[in-house]
Structure 1
Amino acid sequence: MTAVQTHGLGNRDLLDQYLAAGFAGRVGWGERVAVLVIDMAGAWTRPDEMIGANLDGVLDNIRRLLEVVRERDDIPVVFTTMAYDETYSDLPLVTRLKTPHSERMIRGSERVRLVPELDRRPHEALIEKPRASAFFNTNLLSILVAQRIDTVIVVGCSTSGCIRSTCESALDYGFRAIVPAEAVGDRSASAHEANLFDINARYADVLPIDEVIDHLGRRPRTGTAVTTGG
């Protein structure tokens, strides 16, 4: 009888299988870095919401990262949320059928507002994305290309959905993606662990948050980032 494999970053057998198959290489750090803070808004961060969870630990680690980044002037920060018109004119039926909670993501509502603890600055871009990936049907690619970014640090939620999808798109567009493990979260612990494993094997480098912060602290400056407006 074949043993059932448990997915996780510590799954040595599966990782060995992936390495033998040519998975789980390292993308490393590039020359110019940006931080993408994915969907840290009310609908995802409040446990009493339909798809919410307690992400206090994730939020604390994102704030640690932002504190280091904001001491520099060469690393842009881009925030995302998901929002739709109250008439659902921009929300396709198939999306509503598959993810009915999207009908509650009304533009301007508390559910889609960033949590105030992030203290978004006026020059830090905020993007409304219609789907899981921060790149799909948004101007994120233009923002990154304009600033010659080649590496994105992806934080926020949810690991199994928007984080994974954004990392996949980042790879598709040729960006190096770095995911600080403690700065992403999910409402499901098992989904979080399984998707971190796959993200690390297929799309991005999953690193400890302390290693990411240490790297940024030692990283030479590359020139002032172009502000993107509020």
Structure 2
Amino acid sequence: MTAVQIHGLGNQALLDQYLAAGFAGRVGWGERAALLVIDMAGAWTRPEEMIGSDLGAVLGNIRRLLDVVRQRDDVPVVFTTMAYDASYSDLPVVTRLKTPHSERMIRGSERVRLVPELERRPHEALIEKPRASAFFNTNLLGILIAQGIDTVVVTGCSTSGCIRSTCESALDYGFRAIVPAEAVGDRSASAHEAGLFDINARYADVLPIEEVIAHLRR
């Protein structure tokens, strides 16, 4: 197969090639799951914001998952946001250059606060992450290990960025990652679809939300 042919593969042809090459296996569910809600705060969920978009449908599906897991006492919920000091003392220059919007993500501002519809409970952890992955330079790994978690259900935004990066880290640390397709979103439809494709092929199992809900209810 020539390079031109490889670069011209559609998703189904690429998936077929991945399967033949040993990609896109299934990680499945482990013994105990946690629900991760990534960056559902003002900066991402308000369309008028620099990096915002309409994530109303995603938010509604995350609330469905929250309703299910909050009826149990063995599925912890962890929320994340991104926030920095107003002095930028914890915001490296390279990060500011590559993602200038980060200069607006000031700790305590509306941009970094979770949307109220999530109705975060006092016992549900809230992590400020400095980079895309919820695992990088945070205490998420310790939280999960302490509670015997082996599976993370990853929801929120953005599919092509923080969701993908968190799923990659989950795999690197030996966690099974499940992504309910309707509970993650992106400001770009094409980036969302490409992100889901790559996540499903490389890092996690992307499943319909109804299948995830059914499993969590069991």
**Which range, TM-score by smaller chain?**
over 0.9
Q: What is the rounded CA distance, in whole Å, between the counterparts of 1:147 and 1:192 in structure 2?
A: 31
Q: What is the rounded CA distance, in whole Å, between the counterparts of 1:145 and 1:211 in structure 2?
A: 25
Q: Which amino acid aligns with 2:8?
A: V
- Listed one character per residue, the Cα deviations across residues 106-142 of structure 1 (whole Å, up to 9, x for unaligned) are 0000000000000000000000000000000000000
Aligned partner of 2:206 in structure 1 is: 206
- Listed one character per residue, the Cα deviations across residues 45-88 of structure 1 (whole Å, up to 9, x for unaligned) are 00000000000000000000000000111000000000000000
Q: What is the rounded CA distance, in whole Å, between the counterparts of 1:189 and 1:4 in structure 2?
A: 20
Measured after TM superposition, the shift of residue 43 of structure 1 is: 0.1
Q: Secondary structure at the match of 1:164?
A: helix
Aligned partner of 1:79 in structure 2 is: 79
Q: Which amino acid aligns with 2:199?
A: I
Measured after TM superposition, the shift of residue 196 of structure 1 is: 0.3
Instruction: List structure 1 segments (4+ residues) > 2 angstroms apart after TM superposition.
Output: 1-6
Measured after TM superposition, the shift of residue 4 of structure 1 is: 3.1
Q: Does 1:123 align with 2:127?
A: no
Q: Secondary structure at the match of 2:95?
A: helix
Q: Secondary structure at the match of 1:71?
A: coil
Q: How does 1:66-145 map to 2 (within 5 A)?
A: 66-145=66-145
Aligned partner of 1:41 in structure 2 is: 41
- Listed one character per residue, the Cα deviations across residues 191-213 of structure 1 (whole Å, up to 9, x for unaligned) are 00001000000000000000000
Q: What is the rounded CA distance, in whole Å, between the counterparts of 1:102 and 1:73 in structure 2?
A: 36
Q: What is the rounded CA distance, in whole Å, between the counterparts of 1:64 and 1:4 in structure 2?
A: 38
Measured after TM superposition, the shift of residue 5 of structure 1 is: 3.4
Q: What is the rounded CA distance, in whole Å, between the counterparts of 2:158 and 2:92 in structure 1?
A: 22
Measured after TM superposition, the shift of residue 30 of structure 1 is: 0.1
Measured after TM superposition, the shift of residue 98 of structure 1 is: 0.2
Structure 2 residue corresponding to 1:5, chosen from 1, 5, 9:
9
Q: Secondary structure at the match of 1:29?
A: coil
Q: Which amino acid aligns with 1:108?
A: G
Q: What is the rounded CA distance, in whole Å, between the counterparts of 2:12 and 2:114 in structure 1?
A: 37
- Listed one character per residue, the Cα deviations across residues 11-70 of structure 1 (whole Å, up to 9, x for unaligned) are 321111000111000000000100000000000000000000000000000000000000
Q: What is the rounded CA distance, in whole Å, between the counterparts of 1:19 and 1:25 in structure 2?
A: 8
Aligned partner of 1:194 in structure 2 is: 194
TM-score with structure 2 length normalisation? 0.96
Aligned partner of 1:222 in structure 2 is: none
Unpaired segments ≥5 residues, structure 1: 219-230
Q: What is the rounded CA distance, in whole Å, between the counterparts of 2:131 and 2:169 in structure 1?
A: 12
Root mean square deviation of aligned Cα:
1.0
Q: Which amino acid aligns with 1:143?
A: I
Q: Secondary structure at the match of 2:64?
A: helix
Q: What is the rounded CA distance, in whole Å, between the counterparts of 1:199 and 1:69 in structure 2?
A: 24
Q: Which amino acid aligns with 1:39?
A: D
TM-score with structure 1 length normalisation? 0.91
Aligned partner of 1:176 in structure 2 is: 176
Aligned length: 214
Q: Secondary structure at the match of 2:31?
A: coil
Unpaired segments ≥5 residues, structure 2: none
Q: Secondary structure at the match of 1:190?
A: helix
